[in-house]
């Protein structure tokens, strides 16, 4: 077997070396360590295996990391990633990638770090590809080689410590911090980040604390126009303007999950299926109708499903009269021209739903006429103008599904939520097998779970966490039901559920990293948009918007981008209307420090200086920027801070400012080490020892929860005045 031909670029890379985050010691007089994480951009450049044959899709099966000449053991991570010909996919060595196996992929290395790192990629049917890079600790572009801390001594009250949560995000935010403040509760015997019941911004210890610049720098952007979210866990929602276009019978809507084109498929007054194109504004406050298909496909049915394959391609599936129509659509780049490229009819179909599996594949769930076996299939739709004559692979259940929906969890796994013949909600996992060229070979019925709960309507959506998904229903009592599932090695587990108000229509999407969103028609016919936070086996409402649109008779929901959702509705007069909901942007800064930009996010409304700093203004290290708040897509008061290297020339500041404003500035994530504070693990702070804290010297925080003391003083810190400090010592003695 040959080594695959790929192009592989890695970050964070500085002067040809992969850089890691030096990690502060767990306590004074203990050794420091380092954290390795990276981003790989892998392009498939494999040629065709022979004359007249297509270029193959590469199927990545595993990723291995080793450090030659060191005692750091080799680590191996399972992958199941398809990389199409001439396509670049981004891979991360990441945090909590696979909840099913509880894998945490960031690698700990000793402070005396290995000299090199070797990354091995194993693709099905090929010899393992290997890349080798020198390894080095990251040095920030400041005189000290690291950043000053964004908080200062005196910013906090007695016995309050800073806690940087460095394991909050994945992907491009892997090296970022969410910074909170904590205090030990001796009665409850645990750390808390709030002084009340946790339901107010003001009760969080970090709320309103001054934020300081971490280095001298130049402002690229500052914003202070967004109100703070009303309380922890609840987002302040904004609703954009409504666009109305034409009439509609059935309605559906689909976006790319990005800030890009939205398609809406409808049936018109002449009982034809039409596809309409809309483009959102950059800030998602408005939508513009661009164009629609001329004429349309004859259609007089009761089921319409739509997926967006790209900004210029879409697929619809519609059931009517005991058959279904699968149709491929394409639009011009500006959306003004929309045409039906191809369609085919599949007989004996009562109902159908489709979902995008990958760039050129869809999943279809279909219920045959007469209550036959519920079927799922995968279709390759790579052709620009033609649909395949039949599915690539098909599987079925042992019984019918009266109602159902489908959601894709990965390129090789999807899930259906169905109402069984007995009227109960059941979820089924399906696994897609690929050959070494990436072709689908079969679909396997995997784990399933019958909840035992009744369901009259069903919607299912993937969450942002691997192998987890959510289901929304109109339950047997006519109320909104929400369910949170986790696929484990033992099967499908229902980890949380809750019930809402009475509803008559239900839609569900992923809204942000830890939140789902529902759009429902309430019992009185109105449109309601609600966020739901998924956290530690609990589902809690996280913001609600009763839309003033008025009565609706049909609705569909799609993800327009991170923290944004779009809905298509039919009014009682039969008009199609589209609306966007979004979280606020949040207040804060982007400041250029050397050749790295640092984002200070979620700052308190009206806390930034007046007049507001302008792009190009200079800031000095330790100058006050504003206060900690809870603005934008935030779960509660905290400071989000992260560093990114500008991958362009920064000598022309005016050009950097211009490109940043146009969202064209190319950046790559970087570790963020600090200096000027002391730190220890939170578990040591309550041990009663007076030498917990060690000085942080060009280091960051990872692997364990840290408590940070503001101001270096050689480790002489007392936890609390008087009785509490005595109790801490007594408690430590009692445990010894």
Pairing of strands 237-239, 624-627: unpaired
Q: Is the same domain home to 221 and 246? A: no
End-to-end CA, the chain: 60
Residues 317 and 273 in one domain: yes
DSSP conformation letters of 514-554: TEEEEEEEETTSEEEEEEEEEETTEEEEEEEEEEEEEE-SE
229 and 241 part of one domain: no
Please tell me the number of Cα atoms within 13 Å of 668 on its side-chain side.
17
* Predicted pLDDT of residue 449: 96
Same domain, 607 and 656: yes
Residue 548's CATH number = 2.130.10.10
Single out the residue in 114, 137, 160 at which a domain terminates. 137
Q: How far apart are CA 168 and CA 561, in angstroms?
A: 20
Tens of pLDDT, residues 405-450 = 999 999 899 999 999 988 999 999 999 998 877 889 999 999 999 9
- Judge if 571 and 611 occupy the same domain: no
Q: What is the pTM of this model?
A: 0.86
Pair 161, 264 in one domain: no
Q: Please say which residue of 551, 583, 615 terminates a domain.
A: 583
409 in any annotated domain = yes
Residues 158 and 266 in one domain: no
How far is CA 369 from its chain centroid?
38
User: Are 465 and 566 part of one and the same domain?
Assistant: yes
Question: Do 321 and 357 belong to one domain?
Answer: yes
Question: Are residues 322 and 410 both part of a single domain?
Answer: yes
Please tell me whether residues 399 and 484 are part of one structural domain: yes
DSSP helix, strand, coil percent of the chain (3-state; round to 5):
5, 55, 40
Q: Is residue 735 part of a domain?
A: no
Q: Which pLDDT does position 687 carry in this prediction? A: 61
pLDDT in tens, 323-348: 899 999 999 999 999 999 999 999 98
Q: What residue numbers bound the domain in which 116 lies?
A: 6-137
Residue 132 lies in a domain: yes
Which residues of the chain, if any, have pLDDT below 50? Answer: 96-103, 712-736
> Which is nearest to 527 in space by CA: 536, 537, 535, 517?
517
């Amino acid at each position: 077997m040959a080594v695959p031909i790929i192009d592989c670029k890695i970050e964070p890379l500085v002067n040809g070396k992969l850089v890691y985050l030096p990690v502060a010691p767990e306590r004074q007089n203990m050794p420091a360590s380092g954290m390795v994480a990276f981003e790989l951009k892998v392009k498939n450049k494999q040629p065709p295996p022979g004359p007249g044959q297509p270029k193959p899709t590469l199927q990545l099966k595993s990723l291995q990391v080793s450090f030659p000449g060191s005692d750091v053991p080799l680590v191996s991570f399972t992958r199941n990633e398809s990389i199409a010909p001439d396509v670049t996919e981004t891979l991360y060595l990441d945090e909590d990638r696979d909840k099913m196996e509880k894998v945490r992929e960031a690698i700990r290395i000793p402070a005396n770090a290995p000299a090199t790192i070797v990354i091995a990629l194993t693709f099905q049917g090929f010899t393992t590809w290997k890349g080798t890079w020198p390894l080095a600790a990251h040095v920030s572009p400041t005189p000290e080689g690291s950043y000053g801390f964004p908080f200062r001594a005196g910013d906090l009250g007695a016995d309050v410590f800073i806690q940087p949560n460095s394991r909050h995000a994945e992907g491009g935010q892997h090296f970022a911090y969410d910074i909170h403040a904590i205090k030990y509760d001796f009665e409850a015997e645990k750390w808390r980040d709030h002084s009340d019941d946790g339901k107010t911004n003001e009760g969080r210890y970090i709320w309103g604390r001054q934020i300081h610049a971490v280095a001298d720098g130049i402002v690229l952007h500052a914003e202070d126009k967004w109100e703070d979210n009303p309380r922890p866990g609840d987002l302040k929602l904004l609703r954009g303007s409504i666009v109305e276009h034409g009439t509609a019978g059935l309605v559906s809507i689909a976006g790319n999950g990005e800030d890009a084109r939205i398609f809406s498929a409808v049936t018109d007054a002449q009982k034809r299926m039409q596809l309409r194109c809309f483009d959102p504004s950059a800030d998602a406050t408005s939508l513009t109708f661009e164009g629609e298909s001329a004429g349309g496909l004859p259609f007089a049915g009761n089921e319409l499903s739509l997926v967006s394959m790209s900004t210029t391609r879409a697929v619809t599936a519609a059931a009517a009269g005991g058959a279904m129509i699968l149709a491929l659509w394409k639009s011009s780049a500006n959306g003004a021209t929309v045409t039906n490229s191809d369609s085919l009819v599949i007989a004996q179909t009562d109902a159908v739903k489709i979902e995008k599996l990958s760039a050129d594949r869809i999943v279809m769930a279909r219920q045959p006429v007469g209550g036959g076996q519920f079927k799922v299939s995968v279709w390759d739709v790579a052709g620009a103008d033609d649909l395949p004559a039949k599915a690539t692979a098909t599987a079925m259940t042992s019984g019918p599904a009266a109602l159902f929906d489908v959601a894709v969890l990965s390129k090789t796994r999807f899930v259906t939520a169905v109402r069984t013949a007995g009227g109960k909600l059941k979820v089924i996992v399906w696994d897609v097998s690929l050959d070494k060229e990436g072709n689908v070979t079969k679909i396997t019925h995997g784990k399933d779970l019958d909840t035992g709960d009744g369901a009259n309507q069903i919607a299912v959506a993937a969450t942002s966490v691997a192998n987890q998904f959510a289901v929304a229903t109109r339950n047997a009592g006519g109320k909104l039901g929400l369910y949170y599932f986790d696929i484990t090695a033992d099967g499908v587990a229902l980890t949380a559920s809750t019930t809402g108000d009475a509803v008559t229509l239900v839609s569900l999407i992923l809204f942000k990293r830890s939140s789902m969103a529902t759009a429902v028609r309430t019992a009185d016919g109105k449109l309601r948009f609600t966020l739901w936070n998924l956290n530690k086996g609990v589902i809690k409402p996280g913001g609600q918007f009763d839309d003033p649109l008025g009565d609706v008779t049909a609705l569909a929901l799609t993800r327009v981008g991170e923290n944004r959702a779009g809905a298509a509705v039919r009014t009682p007069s039969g008009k199609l209307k589209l609306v966007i909901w979004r979280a606020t942007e949040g207040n804060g800064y982007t400041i250029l420090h050397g050749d790295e930009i640092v984002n200070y996010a979620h700052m308190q409304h009206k806390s930034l200086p007046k007049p507001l700093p302008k792009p190009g203004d200079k800031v000095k290290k330790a100058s006050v920027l504003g206060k900690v708040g809870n603005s934008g897509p935030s779960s509660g008061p905290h400071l989000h801070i992260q560093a990114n290297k500008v991958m362009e020339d920064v000598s022309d500041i005016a050009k950097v400012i211009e490109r940043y404003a146009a969202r064209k500035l190319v950046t790559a994530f970087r570790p963020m080490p600090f200096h000027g504070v002391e730190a220890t693990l939170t578990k040591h702070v309550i041990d009663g020892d007076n030498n917990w804290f060690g000085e942080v010297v060009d280091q960051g925080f990872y692997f364990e929860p840290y408590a940070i003391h503001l101001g270096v003083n050689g480790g002489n810190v007392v936890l609390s005045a008087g009785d509490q400090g005595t109790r801490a010592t007594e408690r430590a003695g009692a445990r010894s």
